[in-house]
A and B are shown apart, each in its own frame.
Chain A
Amino acid sequence: MKVLLGIGGSDDSLRALERTVDRAVAAGDELVVAVLENPDSDRTPAEVAEHVEATLVDIDADIDVEVRLVEGDPGSRLVDIAEHEGFDRIVLGGGQTSPMGKITLGSIAEFVLLNAKTTVTLVR
């Protein structure tokens, strides 16, 4: 399967990265990691990309993963890439948890859920 993981640097997106790489190794997925400009994230795209590379080394994943910096509106760019490049699935972090324990979806996940024509996976 051809999987597009979008990450913008929020904690839930970094968790999604590890789980998605593990899954890709197990399933033999073709994985592209799109580093997005998430306005809600404290980490810059360059920092996030660095984190992605380090995670891939840590996991010692025996697969080729393409890491791509994606500029512009994160949700719409992700949907656009998935449709034009024949991805089967978009994967995103499944939301942050408030002090109370409430799940709060990020703005990128909201847009992608409502607009993607591919299957969308939210990692919890």
Chain B
Amino acid sequence: MTPDRFPETVADDFPSPPITFTDRNDREIEVRAYDGSEQEHDALATMYEAFDPADRAQGIPPGGAEEIRRWLSTILEGDCYNVLAWHGDDVAGHATLVPAYDDAESFELAIFVLQEYQEAGIGTRLIEALLGHGQAADVEVVWLTVERWNHAAVSLYEKIGFETADAESFELGMSLRLNPPETE
């Protein structure tokens, strides 16, 4: 599941959160690293409870409040990196890096933007902030899989600099190097 190899070229520097900007619908959005507080956890769970099941990808986010909390507990804890896009007190989007089971240097990436905040330029800022956050924390490489018919997501990842690593199945594998390999 984890790609066999990653790009050798290191990506440019990404901006670290916090980042503030006005989206294409004139909303003030702030992207911040998740602080682990109960308040932020609840606001994020609320976003996923409102999430349109039609935008589910490869089984996530799960449906139902309990399933959502169980899933969030695995990706908000441990060695994961999370950033949230805020519109006031509401979470508009979430991006996360989760370490591979067997490889401490590679992280799986996913990003979700709530329906009413889509197509407003938030996804690009959110993913850049996540990558900046990971880069600053010495994450070496990130990878993801995306359904190949999800053109909006694929072109976002390509714009950011992701390279296609595996194009032979329903899901496209893509990866990006954030930091040079650690020298022995």
Contacts and interface: CB of A to CB of B under 8 A. Distances in A.
Answer whether A and B are interacting partners: yes
Interface of A: 96-105, 107, 110
A35 to B, nearest CB: 22
Contacts of A100: 60, 75, 96, 98, 108, 110
B57 A101 contact: no
Interface of B: 1, 57-60, 62, 71, 74-75, 96, 98-101, 108, 110, 145, 168-171
A104 B62 CA distance: 15
Contacts, number: 43
30 contacts: A96-B1, A97-B59, A98-B1, A98-B58, A98-B108, A98-B145, A99-B98, A99-B108, A100-B60, A100-B75, A100-B96, A100-B98, A101-B60, A101-B71, A101-B75, A102-B57, A102-B58, A102-B59, A102-B110, A102-B145, A103-B58, A103-B59, A104-B1, A104-B58, A104-B171, A105-B169, A107-B168, A107-B169, A110-B169, A110-B170
Most buried by A among B1, B60, B101, B168: B1
Contacts of B101: 99
A97 B145 CA distance: 12
A69 to B, nearest CB: 25
A23 B77 CA distance: 37
Contacts of B60: 100-102
